[in-house]
Amino acid sequence: MTSAAFDVLGIGNAIVDVISHADDAFLIKHALNKGSMTLIDEARAEALYASMAPAVEISGGSCGNTMAGVASFGGKGAYIGKVRNDQLGAVFAHDLRATGVAFDTPLATSGPATARCLILVTPDAQRTMNTYLGACTGLGPADIDPKLVGAAQVTYVEGYLWDAPEAKKAVLKAFDAAHAAGRLVSITLSDSFCVDRYREEFRTLIRDKVDILFGNESEIKSLYQVESFEAALEATRKDAKVAALTRSEKGSVVVRDGEIHAVPAAPVARVVDTTGAGDLYAAGFLHGFTHGKSLAECARLGGIAAAEIISHVGARPERPLRELA
């Protein structure tokens, strides 16, 4: 691989998280699907927000969290995502740039507001996410600079981008630009319901283009429509070049051709909020991968980052991950 200005370029939905605590009764009353991500429109976002407890606002977005994690490990990152020129857009941009990640996607100057994800954290530390995509729907191929893509060892995207048709086109343009420059591309499956929505496209993409696949147990089982993790793992081995599959407290399993590595989860004193666990696993893994580490070491770094993020509220690291590595 020729030298690269960036270790990882992330492309994702640029979202500010609005996090509050709720009990199971709240989820039932508002017909929320515990543990998953649901897309909501602006009216629903306003109604749900009005019923929520006092909240804190923290920059989020699955891939944004990953990039903050890469930077926290000391990696060189860049990000492409769309916010509006509003207050929450300024918050998102500030927080990402403050980590050291390059973020220069032009702001939307009209249209819907910066995206918000209304997150309810239940006493069992599970998070239930309700996303108003807002300005994210404005991300498109014009936002992809092939030179930037070519300057990153790995271009990493979220499956969630498939929910915005122009964003999907942007991803495909970026993937082609990456491969044309001799770089790698990576995707996370994001969410089992997201997999449900785009199963065939994802399968084709993984077979034909993806170099590094991330998914958790329920996502990968949904992808191949199988009942057991073992069956999903077997199917993944046939399709994917490199795959890192996360299993919550059971750790992760990484496969590449004949290789297979099962790595235990890092210990956590108390799980407070699982938001961002998968995002930060990807951060640790990609940081290791772009620094020539073994797959087992990549998985270990992923586990460390995931453990840090679930020990507090919010999906951006509170402690420098390079110190924990």
Residues that bind a copy of itself (CB under 8 A): 20, 49-50, 52-59, 68, 86-88, 91, 94-96, 98-99, 113-114, 314, 316
CB of 115 to a copy of itself, least distance (A): 12
Of 206 and 315, the one with the shorter C-beta distance to a copy of itself is 315
CB of 79 to a copy of itself, least distance (A): 13
Q: How many C-beta atoms lie closer than 10 Å to residue 198's C-beta?
A: 20
Please measure the distance between the N-terminal and C-terminal CA atoms of the chain and give it in whole angstroms. 25
Of 20 and 248, the one with the shorter C-beta distance to a copy of itself is 20
Report the alpha-carbon distance of residue 167 to residue 254 in Å, rounded: 28
Of 55 and 226, the one with the shorter C-beta distance to a copy of itself is 55
Q: Which phi-psi region, left, alpha or beta, contains residue 248 (left: φ > 0; alpha: ψ -120 to 50)? A: left
188 and 159 Cβ atoms separated by less than 8 Å: yes
CB of 90 to a copy of itself, least distance (A): 8
CB of 139 to a copy of itself, least distance (A): 20
CB of 267 to a copy of itself, least distance (A): 21
CB of 47 to a copy of itself, least distance (A): 12
Report the alpha-carbon distance of residue 98 to residue 92 in Å, rounded: 10
CB of 325 to a copy of itself, least distance (A): 19
74 in helix, strand or coil?
A: coil
Of 89 and 150, the one with the shorter C-beta distance to a copy of itself is 89
CA-to-CA separations, 182 to 4, 53, 76, 244, 276, in angstroms, rounded:
11, 49, 18, 22, 30
How many CA atoms lie within 13 Å of 315's alpha carbon, on the beta-carbon side?
Answer: 33
Look at the block and give the residue holding tokens 């591309």: 185
Of 219 and 308, the one with the shorter C-beta distance to a copy of itself is 308
Q: 83-95 in b/e burial notation, b at 16+ Cβ within 10 A?
A: bbebebbebbbeb
DSSP string computed for 228-273: SHHHHHHHHHHH-SEEEEE-GGG-EEEEETTEEEEEPPPP-S----
CB of 99 to a copy of itself, least distance (A): 6
Of 302 and 314, the one with the shorter C-beta distance to a copy of itself is 314
CB of 256 to a copy of itself, least distance (A): 34
Of 16 and 194, the one with the shorter C-beta distance to a copy of itself is 16
Q: What residues contact 82, with CB distance under 8 A and at least 6 apart?
A: 14, 105, 107, 108, 135, 136, 137, 138, 139, 143
Of 55 and 231, the one with the shorter C-beta distance to a copy of itself is 55
Of 132 and 289, the one with the shorter C-beta distance to a copy of itself is 132
* C-alpha triplet 94, 95, 101: angle, nearest 5°: 90
Q: 45-61 in b/e burial notation, b at 16+ Cβ within 10 A?
A: beebeeebeeeebbbbb
